[in-house]
Structure formats: structure tokens, C-alpha cells
A and B are shown apart, each in its own frame.
Chain A
Amino acid sequence: MDTEDIELSEDEEEITAETVLKTLQNAWQNERLSPEILPHHNDMVECMLGQIQHMERNINKLPKTDLRSCIHKMELNRIKYIICNYLKTRLNKIESYCIAIVNEEKQRIESGTNYLTPSEFRYAQEYVLNMENHLKNTVLDHVPGNMQTFEFNKMAIYPNYQSHVFLKANETVNGIVLEDLLGDQDEEIDLEEGSQHILQYKPIADLVKNGKVQLV
């Protein structure tokens, strides 16, 4: 690798790239462990793709057997794994909850708080459309007249916000309310920095999104 490139990455990009990678890794971990789809981190994915591209060009300049080439390739494979797995996890959620996600996303787009990237949103809409057409062609168009509607409300599958997740608190958050279903004695707990808990996703969903807790 020539020194010019090294200088460049050291002065301008090095620190940010490292932070971006860490943030992306946390985002990946949260996405894997949360029941619902989380706000996208497209900027970070693109930043990492840029880094990969840049690095791959440089590796090609090195002799094949150079030790550095192996090390860089290995690191790139690690980052590619995170990116692929992150994006695939999101696609899986988009497919499973497609109707609900498209509906909610339409409202979020209006308020400028979209969770999906434009490509993901296009993918989700197309997915719903294909599903609707397929079910119509095969069954709905052939059943008796008043049964033919594709009932979006019934067909929508929602993530289970009540599912239990493990978390580690990145900072102290007080007063999380745990609903008590049997009695009427709701419980309140505090999440001290560094402490770990298992509890329902719903009361801590916002804390995952704003980074105050990390799912583990």
C-alpha cells in the first residue's frame, strides 16, 4: 500500500471509519435481537462500502502473498459479513411484517422519520403487491363473490412487541414501567449503567433506538 493512501486515511478518515464500524456493529447486533425493524443506518453502510472499495483497490496493488494483503482481506470479509447479515436481517423482517411495515412506513415518511431506506421501501411495496397478486390469482379470484377481497387488516402480521429481550444499559435510565397483568401493581425498575436485564421489548423499544441500551 503506498504511503499517500495511508496518510490520507490517517488524517481524515481513520478515526471516523473506526467509529462508524463500531456503530454499525452495534446496529447489526440490535437489529438481530429486536423483534421489530429498527431505523436504518444507511449512511454507515455506505461509508463502510466506500472503505471496502478503497481498501480493495489498494490490496490489488500488493503482491498476493504479502502478509498485509491477508490481514486486510480478512478484515474486509469480517465487515462484509456484518453488512450482509445486517441487510438480510432487515429484509427478513420486511418480508415477515410487510403489510404492517408498509402502512407504518407511509406515515413515517410523511413525518420524515422513516425507518426504511428508499430501496427497502420499494422492495417492501413490490413484495406486498406480488403477494396480493399471487393470492388473488390462485384463490381469491375463484372463491364465491363476497369472499374475494384481499383483507389487508387480517393478513397483516405484526412483530411481537411483548417478546422478552436481554439488554445491557449503556447509561443509567430510571423508571421503566413493567406492566403487571394479573394484579394491578405495575412495577417500576431502574436500569443502572452496565447492568443487564431480561424484560419485555415494548417499554424499552425507544431506548434501543436512541442507544441508551444495547440488546445482548
Chain B
Amino acid sequence: MSSSNYLSISDILVTNEKVPCKFLLDLPKMGFLDPSAAENDLKAGTNIEIPLWLAESLYTRRPPLVSVDLPKIYKETYREILNADACTVDMHKLGQHFYELGCYIAKHDIKSEVSATLLNTYRQRFKMILSATVSTDSINSVQPLSASERERTKSAVVTERALSSWLKIGDCPLTTASMIANHRKRKRAEMELS
């Protein structure tokens, strides 16, 4: 989970996720936001999914233009599943940005239970990731991970490998710089294709 600064690409992608909204007022000339409507204006009462950044901008108007509903992974049914055993959930399919989006969406939960579910899920799945990094086979056996979980696992595996190669090798080898190596690799691949 990277920081949510203005220039962060991952935060931009998180805030691009769609959330269900209900329009509370008419919005002239914005009919195109609803693919199923043919009218020019967007009518009060319309329920559609829009990107989070737009939803937030409409929600913070005074008075708010929309009410934001929770995406299904944060709703009661899923909260129960997650609280019972979060490790059984396919985050790749259901919550590519589960924690990050959850942080933004929590305030729209009237019961304010999302926060606890996020923390609980994080802790349960932390253990799963922890044991997955010890051996490479177990990474494939766990339920698919969310984007940030995959990042975390990847870097933990890098640490694990660095340590085990340190234990084996005496020398501290120098290698080709990574951008240089990757650009060569890409060039070779491109040449093979053409």
C-alpha cells in the first residue's frame, strides 16, 4: 500500500475504481455518465457506478449531489465471510485494491464496521503471506492476492532470497544495473518478434 500523494500512480488507479452512487439532484448535461440512459441530463434518483474520485467530488458538495453506497466486498455479507476466514477470499477478483479502497470508502458505512473488517482481514492474511514467503510452492497455493498484497509478498520473497544467497555465497557480487539489463532484455525480445 503506497502513500496517497498527488503524484502516486497507484493512488490514482485506486481512486479510479468504480463505486455505486445514487444521484440526489439533477445534473444537467451529465447524462452520458449513465450508459443506460439516453437523456441529456442526469436525473435525481439514478443509481450508477462512477469512479471514486468523481463520487468523492460529488459527495463533498454542499448539499451533496450523491450518496455513496459500499461496493459489495465491504457489505455485510462479505464482511461476515472476511471476519470468519479472510484467507478464503479471492482478492484478485473481488478486491484488487481492497485495503486502499476500503480506507476511502469506510466513512460511507453507516454502521462503521468496515474499519474493523479491514484491520481484521489484514491481520489474518498477513499470516498467510508470511508463511507463503518461506517456500515458493505455497505462494501458488494461497488464494489470489490483492495488488498491494502481491507487492508485499514479492518484496518479502526478495528479502528471503537475498538472505539465503548470502548464507551460501562468500563474495558480494556486482551485477549489471537493472535498467540496463531490462532494456537489453526488452530489446532482445523485440528483435526476436520482428
Contact = CB atoms under 8 A, between A and B. Distances in A.
A161 to B, nearest CB: 12
B3 interface: yes
Interface in A151-190: 154-155, 157-158, 160
A160 B3 CA distance: 8
Contacts of A154: 6
Interface size class of B (residues with CB under 8 A): under 10
A202 to B, nearest CB: 15
A69 to B, nearest CB: 22
Contacts of A160: 3
A155 B7 contact: yes
A155 B6 contact: yes
Contacts of A157: 3, 5-7
A155 B5 CA distance: 8
Nearest to A153: B6
A159 to B, nearest CB: 10
Nearest to A155: B6
Interface string A128-156: 00000000000000000000000000110
B192 to A, nearest CB: 33
A155 B7 CA distance: 7
A154 B7 CA distance: 9
A157 B8 CA distance: 10
Contacts of A155: 6-7
B97 to A, nearest CB: 19
Contacts of B5: 157-158
Nearest to B3: A160
A160 B6 CA distance: 14
Interface string B1-39: 001011100000000000000000000000000000000
Nearest to A154: B6
A190 B105 CA distance: 37
Contacts of B7: 155, 157
Given A155-B7, A157-B6, 6 more contacts: A154-B6, A155-B6, A157-B3, A157-B5, A157-B7, A158-B5
Interface of B: 3, 5-7
9 contacts: A154-B6, A155-B6, A155-B7, A157-B3, A157-B5, A157-B6, A157-B7, A158-B5, A160-B3
